[in-house]
Amino acid sequence: MLKTFKKGGVHPPENKLSAHQPVQTALLPKTATILLSQHMGAPAKALVAKGDAVKTGQLIAKGEGFLTGNVHSSVTGKVTKIDEVQDASGYKRQAVFVEAGEEEWMPGIITDNTLDKTIRFEGPEIISKITDAGIVGLGGATFPSHVKLTLPRGKKAEFLIVNGVECEPYLTADHALMLEKGEEILVGIQLLKKALNVSQAHIGIENNKPDAVAHMKKLAASYEGIAVHALIVKYPQGGEKQLIKAITGREVPSGGLPVDVGCVVFNVGTVFSVYEAVQKNKPLVERVVTITGVQVKKPLNLRVRIGTSVASLIEQAGGLPEHTGKIIMGGPMMGKALGSAEVPVVKGTSGILLLPDAVSERSPIQPCIRCAKCVSVCPMGLEPYLLMPLSQQKNYDRLEAEHIMDCIECGSCSYTCPASRPLLDYIRLGKASVGKIIRTRKKP
């Protein structure tokens, strides 16, 4: 029987236009714009200066502080400047600009693609290699992987959960990666299992990728302690909490972490990067990005160097279609709409989606008819119809009591609302305010 999470969820049209497209290597950027904050926490500290020559894979910024990660040069060339650039949100962030010349990898990095299954390291060494390689969650949240691997005191992991769900419509990067780098992912899983000291790993893949399920199942048979689960197609199954529920039946408690129920979750793309970091000494300088959209000439999956501009990726997919209304970094449910295509790809960029004019603008907001669809689709068991007005009224006490902090911002409520109400917009606003209040309360 296929598994899934119980509560809520929606099933938008899948539109996996670029499924079964092999992963092609994107053109190297002429100038790589490498942002210093490609992870959750504070920006990394630049180690290079204007005029420095850097090689591909060279550490150019060091993550200092708790939730940060190292940043490496994704091309070989000269640092032309370290300056502010607009990121996906349009706000200015520090970035290192590297003008690309002839490619030369840092010594020590193995660039051939032969499979290396031998595990040579102990847990702590694996974690330190992952830290050095600047690996963050590639599913989009960009949570530094080494932090995830360092369990809070007193907690013990039982399962490693690997997220191959890719529940966002349109996106196919993880799908393509599983088909092409299945073995590497499995070796990566073994490495992570060792780092976490767990014996069981579960891979969850939605059943709209039967080839990936079959492929991973076949390969996993020859590895100890790796189970592959086909899951019913339902958004947001790629959400950490929903995936754990689907596979193990356990519920991460409200306000808790996956490790509270003995689980640690990694995306398949992250696992592949872990493989490369540990077995090949290769830091995270490239990732697979889906470039897609109904009007896109050649929807495809590209292996892209971090710092390549979105505009150049669109060029490689056949150019910007005439009636493009929106460029989205990420999937249609949780991705960020870009104000300009001159934004660099970051570690968390899983796809570039071009939406045509006709579907880019929102429908006019109508009154709530209390149809309760938002309540029934909320995967966290919240009441969006109630949270939205409470947020408008700034009734923060009540919002907190109604569990607004549990919201995972999946967008199922806004998606399903027949009256096109901007439920999530206001919930996000309320959540941010309540979060601020809670944080100040914790401080003495």
Partner 1 sequence: MSKLLIVSPSPHISSDQTTSKLMYGVVVSLIPAFAVTIYMFGIGALIVTAISIVSCVLAEALIQRYILKSEVTIRDGSAVVTGLLLAFNVPANLPWWMVVLGALFAIGIAKMTYGGLGNNLFNPALAGRVFLLISFPVQMTSWPLPIASRLQYLDAATGATPLSIVKEAVRNGEKIPDIMQQVPDHMQLFLGQMGGSLGEVSALALLLGFGWMLYRKIITWHIPVVIILSIAAFTGILWLADPLKNASPLFHILTGGVMLGAIYMATDLVTSPMTRTGMIVYAVGIGIITVVIRVFGAYPEGVSFAILIMNAVVPLINRYIKPKRFGEEVKHG
Partner 2 sequence: MGLTILYTIVSLSILGALAATVLYFVARRFKVYEDPRIDLVEAELPAANCGGCGFAGCRNFAEALVKSETGEGLFCPVGGNEVMKRVAALLGREAVAQEARVAVLRCNGTCEFRPKTNKYDGVQSCAIASALYSGETGCTYGCLGLGDCVEVCNFDALHMDPATCLPVVDSEKCTACGACVKACPRDLFELRKRWKGNKQIYVACRNEDKGGVAKKNCSVACIGCSKCFKVCPYDAIVMNNNLAFIDSDKCKLCRKCVAECPTGSIIEVGFPPKKVVQEATADDINLSANKE
Residue numbers of the site for partner 2 (CB under 8 A)?
Answer: 84, 86, 89-92, 336-337, 339-340, 360-362, 422, 425-426, 428-429, 432
Cβ nearer to partner 2, comparing 365 with 438: 365
In terms of CB distance, is 64 or 397 closer to partner 2?
397
Burial of 358 (0-12, 13-18, 19+ CB in 10 A): exposed
Nearer to partner 1, 36 or 352 (CB): 352
Q: Measure CA of the first residue to CA of the last residue in the chain; give whole Å.
A: 51
- Cα–chain center distance at 412: 18
Nearer to partner 1, 299 or 379 (CB): 379
CA 161, 164, 165: angle at the middle one, nearest 5?
A: 105
Say which residues have a Cβ less than 8 Å from residue 398's Cβ, sequence separation at least 6.
390
Q: How many positions of this chain bind partner 1 (CB under 8 A)?
A: 78
Listed ranges 190-198, 214-222, 284-292, 367-375: which one lies at the site for partner 1 (CB under 8 A): 367-375
DSSP letter assigned to residue 216: H
Neighbours of 120 (CB within 10 A): 9
| Residue 132 or 383 having the CB closest to partner 1 | 383
Report the distance separating Cα 186 and Cα 202, nearest Å: 11
Residue 432 binds which one of partner 2, partner 1, none, with CB within 5 to 8 A depending on kind?
Answer: partner 2
| The one among 147, 284, 334, 387 contacting partner 1 by CB under 8 A | 334
**Residue 39 interacts with, from partner 2, partner 1, none (CB under 5-8 Å by kind):** none
From the CB of 90, what's the least distance to partner 1, in Å?
Answer: 8
Handedness of CA 411, 413, 415, 421 (dihedral sign): negative
CA distance 118 to 31: 36
Q: Are 299 and 293 in contact (CB under 8 A)?
A: yes
Of 141-200, binders to partner 1 (CB under 8 A) are 158, 169
Q: Of the two residues 359 and 438, which places its CB atom closer to partner 2 in the complex?
A: 359
Query: Taking contact as CB under 8 A, which single stretch among the options 38-46, 48-56, 406-414, 436-444 is the one that binds partner 1?
Result: 406-414
Q: Which stretch binds partner 1 (CB under 8 A): 137-145, 173-181, 211-219, 358-366?
A: 358-366
Q: What is the CB-side half-sphere exposure of residue 273 using CA atoms within 13 A?
A: 30
| Residue 362 Cβ vs partner 2, minimum distance, rounded to whole Å | 6
